[in-house]
Amino acid sequence: MPYGIGGGGLLGIALEVLPPPVQSATVPSASGGTMASGTYRYYITAVNANGETTVSNEQTAVVTGPTGSVALSWASVTGATAYRIYRTAAGGAAGTQLFLAQVTAPTVIYTDTTAVPAGAFPTANTAYDSGTYRAPSKFVPILNESLANTENTVFRRPIRESADVIGAVAGNELAEGDIEMEALEDCIPWFLAAGRMTCTKTGSAPNYVYTYVPTAQAVPTRTVSITVKRSDQIFGYTGCVISSIKFGIQDGMLTFAVHVIARSEASQAAPTSSWATTAPFGAGTYSIEIPTGTAVTDTDTFEWTVEDNGEAQFRLKNTGRGADFVKFGERDVTATYSRDFITRADYDLFKSVTSESITMTASKGTNNQVTLLSPVTVKESYEVGLSGQGDLNRAQISYRSMLGTPAAYQLVVKTQENLPV
């Protein structure tokens, strides 16, 4: 008996990229090559038309030389067109592997003899595989979701001695909806990966910094698969693009919402979930600067939105009814605040169309932060009025961002989450 919504729901997300290969144990030999004696370390990556995965598990081999060789093997990766092998020098430390050779799929073996490696291994997965379902890599606690599948069925009414519908023809298929969640720094980057922005990843384990800057690209380079378990049924949404994002503060807690446009949906196998214990941002964790560099303490509501106006694109094809891709439109970046109205100076800035920078930082510590920066904003509306004797004079202000440096906005997430981006 299904348990309904109860405690049975979940949502998971995964990047739609080829997974790295899984490397088998090496088989060293005292003959067959000219490798010097020593311990060698190996990585394998998979390649497709879009790029290259991150590295496989590491395997080592001890060669006795001077005529040694090493046989390598790995599991095939669906969708891969080639594999690349990386190796250290004799006695080299982990993480010093360099490019050794490339073999064409479906080959999944290679014998290392004597070649000298050159060229660093990749640290980001660029082997995009948009539209191919991937089981969740991250499970996300959400507040609600409204992903829904729509079909533009054509109901036929040819003139043929009848006033009724004669039949139905399958039309285009699209899945779309919103997901709202607590703004957890370990979950946000998974969704931003499919947005209209570039990501620069810095730092090292366990602390990483993801810096997002919007781009003018018309089509996203990366998509995600989103898995939703409703009751005992598993819904798998593929080719998912994040068309808009929204940060807000509700009762002191920072929330994060995204609008998702998916190319298609299908039933999938039930995933095995695992849940992190990341705490949300709450009251007392916020710093708001208007303009940037000047902290204010007279604000009690906040909302920051990026709308990229995504739109599914359908093309004539024989490979299913889902969208071919999602295009982006014009971008709107807005922010709204409620503030105490104390002086007229701020209102005069609104009347004179004066631009200013706005920064909001939510912080639970140096390495657990979310920072939103709008470097150039202009007040779009400014509402202030009297409501009664003894009441505070409150201002409702909305801002619109414009092109600035480094862009219309910058979003920085500091977290222990390690994404292959």
Q: Is 378 exposed, middle or buried (0-12, 13-18, 19+ CB in 10 A)?
A: middle
* Residue given tokens 């991250």 in the structure block: 138
Q: What is the mean pLDDT of residues 291-308?
A: 94
The CATH number that domain 27-112 falls under is: 2.60.40
Determine the Cα–Cα distance for residues 158 and 181; give it in Å rounded to an integer. 47
Output the pLDDT for position 23: 97
Q: How far apart are the first and last CA of the chain?
A: 41
Contact 227, 16 (CB under 8 A): no
Output the pLDDT for position 343: 86
Q: How confident is the model at residue 3 (pLDDT cuts 50, 70, 90)?
A: low
Q: Looking at 3-17, 295-309, 336-350, which range is the least confident one?
A: 3-17
Determine the Cα–Cα distance for residues 6 and 23; give it in Å rounded to an integer. 41
What residue type is 132 in one-letter code?
Answer: T
Contact 140, 24 (CB under 8 A): no
* Residue given tokens 């039930």 in the structure block: 270
Structure tokens that stand for 274 in this block: 């695992």
Task: For residue range 192-213, list pLDDT tens digits in order.
Answer: 999 999 999 999 999 999 999 9
Structure tokens that stand for 198 in this block: 């570039």
**Residue closest to 403 by CA, chosen among 374, 380, 361, 371:** 374
| DSSP letter string, 87-140 | EPPTTPPTT--EEEEEEETT--EEEE-SPPP-SBPPSS---B-TT-----SEE-
Output the pLDDT for position 5: 58
User: Which run of H or E residues covers position 348?
Assistant: helix 345-351
Structure tokens that stand for 62 in this block: 């001890």
Parse the chain into domains and list their residue ranges: 27-112, 138-415
Q: At residue 137, does pLDDT exceed 80?
A: yes
Q: How confident is the model at residue 392 (pLDDT cuts 50, 70, 90)?
A: confident
Determine the Cα–Cα distance for residues 259 and 340; give it in Å rounded to an integer. 32
Q: At residue 1, does pLDDT exceed 60?
A: no
Q: At residue 54, does pLDDT exceed 60?
A: yes
Residues 6+ apart with CB under 8 A from 133: 16, 225, 236, 238, 266, 268
- Alpha helix (H) ranges present in 15-107? none
Structure tokens that stand for 117 in this block: 């490696």
Determine the Cα–Cα distance for residues 111 and 281; give it in Å rounded to an integer. 52
Output the pLDDT for position 171: 92
**Residue closest to 271 by CA, chosen among 302, 243, 234, 245:** 234
Q: What is the mean pLDDT of the chain?
A: 93
Q: What is the mean pLDDT of residues 133-142?
A: 96
> 350-353: long-range contacts (C-beta < 8 A, 24 or more apart)?
350/379, 350/382, 350/397, 353/378, 353/379
**Residue closest to 23 by CA, chosen among 67, 61, 66, 58:** 58
Output the pLDDT for position 105: 96
Q: What pTM, to 2 d.p., does this model score? A: 0.90
Burial 320-346 (b: 16+ CB within 10 A, else e): eebbbbbbbeebebbbbbbbebeeeeb
